Amino acid sequence: MVLGTYKEIVSARATDKQIQKVSQDGGIVTGLLAFALEEKIIEGAVVAGPGKELWKPEPMVAMTADEIIAAAGTKYTFSPNVMMLKKAVRQYGIEKLGTVAIPCQTMGIRKMQSYPFGVRFLADKIKLLIGIYCMENFPFASLETFVSEKMGISTDLVEKMDIGKGKLWVYTQDDVLSIPLKETHGYEQSGCNVCLDYVAELGDVSTGSVGSPDGWSTVITRTDGGDTIFKQAIDAGIFETKDMADVKPGLGLLEKLSAQKKEKNQKTIDKRKEMGLPVPF
């Protein structure tokens, strides 16, 4: 199944104007984590918070809705969120934890839950795992190359970065710059080239922009827990939704991109195997 096992797929966005303003797409991640916190489904969440340097995120334990909101927006470089999960439980005393993770991070978390060899009393405390779609991720130096060298501006001026419609977009206060995605190829981390998961197939709920109009997100509910929480949030008016059949570009694009990623990276896997290099998949 090209989109993994799921219960439902809808197009959605947060109704809260403040969340709409700061979030990357439909504010699903921020809206759902804040809702789960409010409803005491979770007591805190690990998010990609602001780091010392602009656009260089650091995993952070958010204990309030404000802290969750402060971490909104996509940073196209490493934020090793998984490393903070244990700290959240041990040092912040969180018994019910939420987090957001790109597909490969969900893999680390799910493997730990099924096989917690050296990890005690953490597996069952993760109550909400929101997966975000991911085609690739970049070392920070690659981002610097795109922005400083290829676009010719300082990363300090950047207010938002986004990948979509075949381009990497950079928004400053009064400008919108872009480079074709082709020019970013070869700058991604190479571990991404064997990754077969585009749509966070192991999240409780997974979300990304692809398939929905600007400002909206495509939301996939997968586990019973994830489906229940997302529906509670809709009932509480946190999100407005549209049928996937009624939105453009629609589910077809998401399926296409997911299939393309699997196909391309399977080739890399096969090539590695031919060379005798290890591949876990």
Ligand X SMILES: Cc1cc2nc3c(=O)[nH]c(=O)nc-3n(C[C@H](O)[C@H](O)[C@H](O)COP(=O)(O)OP(=O)(O)OC[C@H]3O[C@@H](n4cnc5c(N)ncnc54)[C@H](O)[C@@H]3O)c2cc1C
Binding site for another protein (CB under 8 A): 4-5, 59, 77-78, 80-86, 104-105, 107-121, 123-124, 137, 139-140, 189-195, 201-202, 222-224, 277-281
Contact with ligand X (CB under 6 A): which of 23, 106, 178, 221?
A: 23
CA angle 72, 134, 213 (to 5 degrees): 70
Helix (H, G, I), strand (E, B) or coil at 258: helix
Please report whether residue 128 would count as binding ligand SF4 according to CB under 6 A: no
Rounded to a whole number of angstroms, the distance between the first and last alpha carbons of the chain is: 16
Applying CB under 6 A, which part among 2-10, 84-92, 134-142, 273-281 lies near ligand X?
134-142
Taking the complex as a whole, the smallest distance from the CB of residue 16 to ligand X amounts, in Å, to 10
Q: Tell me whether residue 39 or residue 273 sits nearer to ligand X (CB atom).
A: 39
Q: How many Cβ atoms from other residues are within 10 Å of residue 251's Cβ? A: 17
Which region, judged by CB under 6 A, interacts with ligand SF4, from 62-70, 92-100, 147-155, 187-195? 187-195
Query: What's the token pair of residue 256?
Result: 């296409």
> Under the criterion CB under 6 A, does residue 26 sit at the interface with ligand X?
yes
Chain centroid to Cα 120, Å, comes to: 26
What DSSP string describes 90-108?
Answer: HTS--SSEEEEE-HHHHHH
Nearer to another protein, 83 or 176 (CB): 83
Q: How many angstroms separate the CA atoms of 213 and 218, rounded?
A: 9
DSSP 8-state assignment for residue 186: T
Is residue 109 a contact residue for ligand SF4 (CB under 6 A)? no
Residue 36 binds which of another protein, ligand SF4, ligand X, none (CB < 5-8 A, kind-dependent): none
Is 103 a residue that touches ligand SF4 (CB under 6 A)?
yes
In our burial notation (b when 16+ CB lie closer than 10 A, e otherwise), range 125-157 reads bbbbbbbbbbbbbbebebbbbbbeebbeeebeb
Q: Taking CB under 6 A as the rule, does residue 203 contact ligand SF4?
A: no
Tell me if 54 sits within 8 A of 140, measured CB to CB.
no
Q: Which residues bind ligand X (CB under 6 A)?
A: 23-30, 47-48, 57, 71-76, 79, 81, 100, 102, 132-135, 137, 163, 207-210, 217
Q: Which residues bind ligand SF4 (CB under 6 A)?
A: 102-104, 108, 134-137, 191-192, 195, 197
